[in-house]
Amino acid sequence: MDAEGLALQLRRLLKELPTPVRQMGTWKVKRELLLPGDVANFWTGHSPRHFVVSIAAAIGISKDRRDYLGRWAYAQHGSQDYVLTSRQVVQAIQTTVCKTLLLGGDGGGYIEEELLCTLRSFADDLGLNGEEIVGANTVMQWDGHKQTWLLGGQYPAFAVNPERVPIAEGELEAKLPGEYEAFEAEPDEDEVL
């Protein structure tokens, strides 16, 4: 499926999503749509690709680590160094983002205010009630005891065999291959020019 087809499928899915609501510690769904009218057009086909990298940046994960998410680091390093490090770094970033969203984090966790303000303006420009739409899309909750924004829940979010958790978490502090250095081969003495 090409990018345009993927974007259409994503919008179709978004237009049919019911509104989630948390009741007595459990997530349920309402009958009302989460994104009424053309609000689903707020997200593009590239939005899912940018989600983790955007949150990783917002919670302070360095650019040299985030570059592994989109394989942007591949151009900077040799393939062998890249492959050995990539899995560790990607898994560690995914783990850190997941933990921060579920359990909160230092500095207040992930704050979705900027995204919600932009969504409100988009909905208002469509003639819809932006405040109501933002209310339905606000999922982070403030935990006054922990002093952080969080979804609530437990980590890991999915059932994982306990002995696999450390392996699945990756290593955020994995040693990176270093700065890219152009390689110029020296002529072999036996080589005839």
Q: What is the DSSP string of 42-63?
A: GS-TTHHHHHHHHHHHHTT--H
- Largest pairwise CA distance in the chain: 79
**Is 6 inside any structural domain?**
no
Strands 141-143 and 26-33: unpaired
How many angstroms separate the CA atoms of 164 and 170, rounded? Answer: 11
Our count of domains for the chain comes to 1
Which structural domain range is residue 75 located in? 17-155
How many angstroms separate the CA atoms of 41 and 51, rounded? Answer: 16
Is there a contact between 101 and 139 (Cβ–Cβ < 8 Å)?
A: no
The pLDDT assigned to 182 comes to: 45
**Is 192 inside any structural domain?**
no
The pLDDT assigned to 143 comes to: 94
**Is 170 inside any structural domain?**
no
| pLDDT tens column, 129-169 | 999 999 988 889 999 999 999 988 888 777 777 777 776 77
Reported as type and span, the H/E element at residue 20 is strand 18-23
**Is 173 inside any structural domain?**
no
The pLDDT assigned to 120 comes to: 96
The pLDDT assigned to 163 comes to: 78
The pLDDT assigned to 180 comes to: 44
Q: Tell me the pTM.
A: 0.71
The pLDDT assigned to 5 comes to: 80
**Is 189 inside any structural domain?**
no
**Is 165 inside any structural domain?**
no
CA angle 57, 173, 84 (to 5 degrees): 100
- Give the Cβ contact number of residue 3 at 10 Å: 10
**Is 166 inside any structural domain?**
no
- Give the Cβ contact number of residue 172 at 10 Å: 15
Cis amide prior to 156 (ω within 30 degrees) = yes
Is there a contact between 14 and 45 (Cβ–Cβ < 8 Å)?
A: no
Q: Residue 188 in 3-state DSSP? A: coil
**Is 190 inside any structural domain?**
no
Which regions of the chain are under pLDDT 70?
1, 3, 71-85, 167, 173-193
